[in-house]
Amino acid sequence: MCNCIYCASCVNPTINQMKEKELHYRTLFNALLAEFDFVKVSNVMDCLNWKWAGSKNPPTLYEMVEFCSDLFERCLKDYLSNEDTKYVSTECGGFEVTIRENFVGLKFVVTSWEEPVE
């Protein structure tokens, strides 16, 4: 930081912190994408004849990666928009993206069940 009164990072030092945090989560997500087994997901979708709404065929690997990237962008925007946010998750098309402190997760969910806590 240069400590001037002109650049955005000096006027508002939290901008640099926010950009560093955003970069951190983007790096985590990119590493996750490199390891996630989209081929296995594709095989499951083919086996189940799983199609997304408005599509005649299961999504391609490229479409799945793009779709998960879009889910991540939505999650990241929500996560970074409020300092008090501890956990954000979004799901669609079988995929679920989760962000919490120093954690990014991606799941492909075929079935799930939850019981309410009383």
Q: Specify the pLDDT at position 15.
A: 62
Q: Which two tokens stand for residue 84?
A: 């008090």
pLDDT classification of 93: cutoffs 50, 70, 90: very high
| Sign of the alpha-carbon torsion through 91, 94, 97, 103 | positive
Rounded mean pLDDT, 99-116: 91
Contact predicate 3/29, CB 8 Å: no
In tens, the pLDDT along 29-86 reads 999 999 999 999 999 999 999 999 989 988 999 999 999 999 999 999 999 988 788 8
Q: Which two tokens stand for residue 95?
A: 């995929």
Q: Is the pLDDT of residue 9 over 60?
A: no
pTM beyond cutoff 0.85: no
17 or 15, which is more confident = 17
Contact predicate 32/24, CB 8 Å: no
Residue 78, CA distances (Å) to 1, 37, 45, 74, 82 in order: 27, 26, 29, 6, 7
Q: Which of 68, 109, 105, 108 is nearest to 87 (CA)?
A: 105
Q: Which of 96, 98, 102, 95 is nearest to 87 (CA)?
A: 98
Q: Specify the pLDDT at position 12.
A: 56
